[in-house]
Structure 1
Amino acid sequence: MRVRPITHEALVTELADQLLHVAGPLGSRIALDGHPLTGTRELADSLVEELRARGRRAVRVSTWDYLRPASLRLERGRTDPEVFLHDWFDFAGLSREVLAPLAAGGDGCVLPALWDPDSDRSPREPRTEVGENGAVLVEGPFLLGKQLDFDFSVHLWMSEKVLRRKVPTEDEWQLPAYSEYAQRTRPERVADRLVRADRPERPALVDSLD
């Protein structure tokens, strides 16, 4: 394994350099996959800012804004890791409202949020135009291995030992879901780029797993 320590700023610059060459049918669709503690949202926001500074339209979408209604995701209880892994997130809605509009024949406009978990209803946000020169960055867990149409993917990896130490007590019930995802999907092998994020403020790029 070849691992290269890098600052957050340098990571953003290097990934942005690469994303500028990623092309989709109507804008590029980028996955930033990982546990929230790895800093997927922070990296997505930094990349959006960097890409906009370079003249590209960029939009950040979070899977946490694509939760299924509470009546569906909580019908088998609030702390079931299997349900959390397979039934909490509306990946069909994400595909329909975010990825498909940037596919061939789409209109280039994405819906940044489908569901507000606090009000348990649609936030009724307007669609955002991405356009051919733009990019949508989708951040959140469990994005890989689901046949979602991403043009490029980054997995932020945190070791299970560190994750267990850092995760809040009230979220420990979710850990078996992340373990199952890691074992079944092997996101470190599926992603186009792999970032070690045991310490998100001091990331490391994995240039080779061999």
Structure 2
Amino acid sequence: MAGGFRPVDRTGLAGYLADRLTDRPGRLRVLLDGPPPAGPLPLARAVAELLRARGRDALAVDADDFLRPASLRLERGRTDTGMFLDGWLDEPALRREVLGPGGPDGSGRVLPRLRDRVRDRAFRAEPVPLADGGVVLLAGGRLLGRGLPAELTVHLRMGRAALERRLGPDDAWTAPAYARYDAEGDPGGQADVLVMADHPDRPALRDA
């Protein structure tokens, strides 16, 4: 395929990522970045399942379970694109509770979720122990370009037209924000693995 991309299906993509992680030593952190219609969280769960089947501890974490309280993230209104890009994710909590303990020198005690965004209250969650060779896969949108520590980064790119077709009515306002994120942050250029996901069931990947 032109541009160094090759077509895969979702199963093949999950298998490819699991292959890249299976034999790497130590505890690993993976960022799977992309808008919800591109399916970063289902992909993270599929990779985690494959890794566990191969005997390697793995945990998929939803970045949307680490949002700031509504009083902070919505202080400029529910549909402010600037806040959506830069003010929704609780980065200190992600570092402290997920990526720090999930890293090579961390404690291995990873908090699986922090806040229920619908009820806007903290979850009653306990840290999950991750083995020395375990893998934590953090999935969500707008993760790259923040300096979040990771041993592997993946960006699922979906063009604006495809995104607008697939976003639900309540989330249609986020399409311009994701377009700005792609244009200004260049997440595809930063990622170790770039996946074209306009057709999520028929992606194409390019790896570094």
Secondary structure of 1:102's partner?
coil
Paired residue for 2:72? 72
State the one-letter code of the partner of 2:8: I
Distance in 2, matches of 1:45 and 1:121, equals 24
Change (3 A) 1:87 1:122: same
Paired residue for 1:113? 113
CA contact (8 A) 1:22 1:152 kept: no
- Greater CA drift, 100-109 or 90-99: 100-109
Distance in 1, matches of 2:139 and 2:207, equals 21
Paired residue for 1:59? 59
Paired residue for 2:155? 155
Residue 191 (1) aligns with residue 206 (2): no
Paired residue for 1:146? 146
1:54 Cα deviation (Å)?
A: 0.3
CA contact (8 A) 1:4 1:207 kept: no
TM-score (norm 1): 0.93
Paired residue for 1:90? 90
Residue 5 (1) aligns with residue 3 (2): no
1:86 Cα deviation (Å)?
A: 0.9
**Shift >4 Å, 4+ stretches:** none
Identity of aligned residues (%): 45
Paired residue for 1:20? 22
Distance in 2, matches of 1:21 and 1:54, equals 10
Distance in 2, matches of 1:86 and 1:142, equals 8
State the one-letter code of the partner of 2:32: L
Change (3 A) 1:172 1:32: same
- Greater CA drift, 189-198 or 165-174: 165-174
Residue 179 (1) aligns with residue 187 (2): no
Distance in 2, matches of 1:11 and 1:104, equals 25
Which fold has the larger relative contact order, with Cα–Cα distance below 8 Å and residues 6 or more apart in sequence?
Answer: 1
State the one-letter code of the partner of 2:172: E
Distance in 1, matches of 2:206 and 2:139, equals 19
Secondary structure of 1:137's partner?
strand
Matched residue count = 206
1:22 Cα deviation (Å)?
A: 3.7
Secondary structure of 1:56's partner?
coil
TM-score (norm 2): 0.94
